[in-house]
Amino acid sequence: MASIKDVAGLAGVSVATVSRVLNDKGYVGQSTRENVEKAIKQLNYKPNEVARSLFKKKSNTIGLIVPDIMNPFFTELARAVEDKATKSGYTIILCNSDGNIDKEKSYLDVLRQNYVNGIIVSSNTLTAAQVKELNIPVVSIDREISKGLPTIVAENNKGAIIATRFLQSKGCKKIGHIRGTHGVANAEERFNGYKEVVSGEPWYDDSFIVNGNFDMQSSIEATKELLTRHPDIDGIFAANDIMAIGAIKVAYQLGMKVPEELKIIGFDGITLSTVLTPELTTIVQPIYELGEKATTMLVHLMEQQPLEKTYYKLDVELIERNST
């Protein structure tokens, strides 16, 4: 692999000059520039990013920490981040934390040691102090680490309210809720939205809530439990789509017709929700936009450009399909 020295040698100039044309910085004579460019082409020279990084203390790299890329929500997010990052000249390091704080910390170390320019993270265990101490721009996505930290989330509470009210408007008399993972802020918010709507109802009590972990398996068990407790439930709001899909499966197994006997609504708007039969009614958040905007914010932060806002709460939208 040719180095800057080779280019300098071939062009008959010093490495400093080559560096100048490379970075378009400082004075370079017209003919010198052309010579250098010729040499670069001839050697197919590409600057060594590692050496650059060492000097600059930046590696043109963004760390992306998500719980699990297998969760379709994060898959789409990752794709958005990668697209935007590439366009801005950054490269993505992918980190799956499984929501495990030790993995998160260890990734944080690795990223810092690699001079990443910035980090996009979705975590509920990380504290503001840990982030501050990194001394690297960080934007938090889908989950709020602390007020003050650049954050981008969706209207979780509002979405939950819309979802629950919608079930009511469809004639549901008793509505259960499958909660998201405990300790995750967005699960909390969605839960609260649900509660806000139904807590005044005469039939309502805590037994209409079951716990899931934002995954299918937990949802299947939770739904069984819920329907055993309350066979007369006619509506379920699940805190995300995957769990809603699990609920549909259970209903199916139990011989309950969706949506005739039981209406089910989810949250997220993952692509999967349109491929099922019945297609899932859900509160869609703009996932791709979430990732894109997060990256834009981070790029601004990394390049010390001013940030319009440090906190975005993106709107959600009810999409009615066949599960209600």
Binding to a second copy in span 60-119, by CB under 8 A = 61, 64, 68-70, 75-76, 78-79, 82-83, 91-96, 109-110, 112-115
- The CB-of-13 to a second copy minimum distance in angstroms stands at 22
Q: Which helix (H) or strand (E) holds 133?
A: helix 128-134
Here the contacts of 121-128 (C-beta below 8 Å, separation 24 or greater) are 121/63, 121/64, 121/65, 121/66, 121/145, 122/65, 122/66, 122/67, 122/74, 122/77, 123/65, 123/67, 123/97, 123/99, 124/99, 124/183, 124/184, 124/185, 125/99, 125/101, 126/101
Q: Which part of the chain contacts a second copy (CB under 8 A), choosing from 117-125, 202-210, 247-255, 297-305?
A: 247-255
* 210 token code pair: 């079951």
Cβ-based neighbours of 78, under 8 Å, separated by 6 or more: 64, 66, 69, 92, 94, 291
Closest CA relative to residue 303, chosen from 20, 89, 122, 55: 89
Ranges assigned E (strand) in 126-182: 138-141, 151-154, 175-179
* 145 token code pair: 């680490």
User: What character string, x for contact with a second copy (CB under 8 A) and - otherwise, covers 271-310?
Assistant: xx--xxx---------------------------------
The two beta strands, 61-66 and 118-121, are parallel
Binding to a second copy in span 208-227, by CB under 8 A = 216
From a second copy, DNA, none, which one binds at residue 225 (CB under 5 to 8 Å depending on kind)? Answer: none
Cβ-based neighbours of 229, under 8 Å, separated by 6 or more: 207
Burial class (CB in 10 A: 0-12, 13-18, 19+), 319: middle
- The CB-of-240 to DNA minimum distance in angstroms stands at 42
Q: Considering beta carbons, is residue 144 or 268 the nearer one to a second copy?
A: 268
- The CB-of-49 to a second copy minimum distance in angstroms stands at 4
From DNA, a second copy, none, which one binds at residue 5 (CB under 5 to 8 Å depending on kind)? Answer: DNA
From DNA, a second copy, none, which one binds at residue 254 (CB under 5 to 8 Å depending on kind)? Answer: none
Residues binding DNA: what is the number (CB under 7 A)? 34
- The CB-of-111 to DNA minimum distance in angstroms stands at 15
Cβ-based neighbours of 68, under 8 Å, separated by 6 or more: 74, 96, 97, 98, 99
Q: Do the beta carbons of residue 258 and residue 280 sit within 8 Å?
A: no
d(CA 293, CA 309): 11
- The CB-of-97 to DNA minimum distance in angstroms stands at 25
Q: Which part of the chain contacts DNA (CB under 7 A), choosing from 50-58, 66-74, 233-241, 268-276?
A: 50-58
From a second copy, DNA, none, which one binds at residue 9 (CB under 5 to 8 Å depending on kind)? Answer: none
Q: Considering beta carbons, is residue 56 or 309 the nearer one to a second copy?
A: 56
43 binds DNA (CB under 7 A): no
- The CB-of-305 to DNA minimum distance in angstroms stands at 18
171 binds DNA (CB under 7 A): no
Candidate list 34, 51, 199, 322; residue touching DNA; CB under 7 A = 51
Catalog residues that contact a second copy under the rule CB under 8 A: 1, 46-51, 53-54, 59, 61, 64, 68-70, 75-76, 78-79, 82-83, 91-96, 109-110, 112-115, 216, 245-246, 248-249, 252, 271-272, 275-277
